């Protein structure tokens, strides 16, 4: 069983829709990252969370440590938001480095 | 200059050849990582380094070696490349525990024929 599970795997939505991507993990973590990977490969860290909620522009990330769950929300989605969104966690007590979900492939249609 | 620079960006090689992927960073981070990305498997940790004297194996280190030549430079070597090492490779740096900064290079696409 994967330690980090994302849902949905694929999501197609219309421009302007509110988007939610979910991440559940089964192990203890010290931090969680949401990453964005555009076609062509580059990866950008959007947020690092250890508790609560963070907001940057149209992106909002939340984490519930007790429920081992995080969500990434995109408000007023736009075609340029089309990308793969990856949840990654830093395990407590384990090797350094991140453990990754398999990603959510988001397509926003005009 | 990019925060994390990987070279080469694309490489096609043959089975048995030695390959080196290089990574340099301008962030001043102590921690550097090499990850491999495969379709359907996501990213997996190959090696990581806390400083030039501290190198650690990750989840999938077999068939790979690394060298931390300086704080800013971390290279990944495939001593004898095999086809199942065909993948997209990413270098990353982190200031873990300070500002939570995490930066990835643009990736190096390696094809082993």
pLDDT digits (tens, 9 = 90+) for A65-94: 999 999 999 999 999 999 999 999 988 865
- Mutation to test the A interface, candidates B21, B35, B89, B102, most A Cβ within 10 Å: B102
A103 near A35, Cβ under 8 Å?
no
**Strand pairing of B102-104 and B87-94?**
antiparallel
Tokens of B92: 């990353």
Could you tell me how many residues make up chain A?
Answer: 110
Q: Which residues 6+ apart lie within 8 Å of A5 measured at CB?
A: A23, A24, A25, A26, A101
The secondary structure of residue A79, as a DSSP letter, is: G
pLDDT digits (tens, 9 = 90+) for A4-49: 999 999 999 999 999 999 999 998 898 999 999 998 778 999 999 9
Residue corresponding to tokens 């400083």: B51
Residue corresponding to tokens 């197609």: A12
Residue A102 contacts B, CB cutoff 8 Å: yes
Residues of chain B with pLDDT under 70: 1, 97-98
First to last CA, chain A: 37
């Amino acid at each position: 069983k994967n330690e980090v599970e994302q849902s949905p795997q694929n999501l197609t939505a219309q421009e302007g829709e509110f988007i939610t991507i979910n991440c559940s993990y089964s192990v203890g973590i010290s931090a969680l990252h949401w990453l964005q990977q555009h076609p062509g490969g580059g990866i950008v860290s959007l947020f690092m969370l250890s508790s609560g909620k963070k907001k940057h522009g149209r992106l909002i990330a939340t984490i519930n440590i007790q429920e081992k769950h995080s969500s990434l929300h995109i408000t007023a989605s736009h075609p340029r938001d089309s990308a793969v969104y990856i949840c990654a966690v830093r395990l407590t007590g384990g090797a350094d480095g991140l453990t990754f979900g398999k990603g959510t492939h988001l397509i926003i249609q005009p | 200059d990019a925060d994390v620079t990987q070279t080469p960006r694309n490489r096609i090689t043959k089975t048995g050849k030695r390959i080196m992927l290089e990574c340099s960073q301008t962030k001043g981070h102590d921690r550097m990582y090499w990850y491999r990305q495969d379709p359907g498997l996501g990213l997996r940790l190959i090696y990581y380094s806390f400083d030039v004297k501290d190198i650690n194996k990750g989840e999938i280190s077999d068939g790979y070696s690394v060298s931390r030549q300086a704080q800013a430079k971390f290279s990944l070597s495939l001593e004898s490349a095999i086809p199942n090492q065909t993948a997209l490779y990413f270098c990353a740096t982190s200031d873990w525990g300070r500002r939570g900064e995490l930066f990835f290079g643009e990736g190096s696409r390696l094809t082993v024929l």
